[in-house]
Structure 1
């Protein structure tokens, strides 16, 4: 289906690279490399040059840590969104937040997408998206409290749970006034899940795609990749790309990534093999 992300429209035969930009001093991956505003802005410029269609700006790391209140999260995100909006008018700007108040301020500053990584922890977030014509990402966390790690989480069928919860969230967003073509679902690998759950979701992602809602995957350097291959953060790119290829074959539309160039090439190759994308050129045997 055609996908509308704020003021931007994408045809159903396109995939989208969503580059991660952390406004945090303690991210698990970059260890605060883009904590300073100018460093984060340089990161935006880099990923745009690399071909990212979207950036996902977050002011709080997902893992447990220092308590970050609403005012602090706003200070990390909102003015930065305005700066990026002014400099990159064609870029899709997503904000990674579960708080409706932060989402409201971010949309006023120019955000196009609210990426609710914690599965509707603040039920008013859908109302904010609706009132601003923003898109929303509906994730599955199994009801986990924001910023908590999973501990002995059990599902009868994790894929069935992910489909049930994300589709219900998507329908609630539409009922609140979000345009149906501006709703995305995300199985949320690692969130409220152990490694076996994330592997199962990857293996059966086609079932989520079959719901008809566009699917986002956030696989980049996740713990399920590290545990599967026994690789620390910083050595998970190959495993990430393998998981990405499986999700691309299933038909995922949006890829939340640290490495834009490598992921774009992997996704384009798989989509071309799948017959959804033409080769950039095809002259072999013809000239």
Structure 2
């Protein structure tokens, strides 16, 4: 079965900025989906902020193996109920790939539990992306480094938790460096943050970036689902692995749901 991937795009800059619209006439989400569709192992759908429930309904997420997220100008417009719905699916095993300015998205901050802040500069400078973990599946088929002629600078410190793995580190013409490809796991869900992708530059037309995104989808996919990780069952005495006697007072009857 192909990996069912949902590309979520904010779809705001494309409607308001001519440079972005010229770069991505089918929307950034449309171009990202086009890159992913080069892999026959990936089936792609798109969703945008403007759709009901932002295109992330219960039904849509139930049919999603990997969610790819790009946002920038309207993080605050994403409904909290949708954020919690996505977080639940990640804990259950859905993969999540967060792109560029999605570092400030509600869902990334929700799963990281940190400010996710950084330094930045919009000057169209060269970015050299170094593959520092060449044996990682996300780096498969990539050269030792690749360059993007024009990108927005992101600089350290990046206030995220210590990554599970660092796959890429970027250098910029102005001298800054940044952990530009990092992985996490939350519950059964694999998470990858990938830095490049400023909307006024043609980053998502770059063949190497496309390879990274396709590799990331294949890496993030988990064929198993673990909804039990979201439960907090009250395990009664008769279910104990070893015989025990009840001692002391309690708040709840056996099997009664606890407070949340």
Q: Which has the higher strand share?
A: 2
Q: TM-score, normalised by structure 1?
A: 0.34
Q: Which has the higher helix share?
A: 1
Which protein is bigger by CA-based radius of gyration? Answer: 2
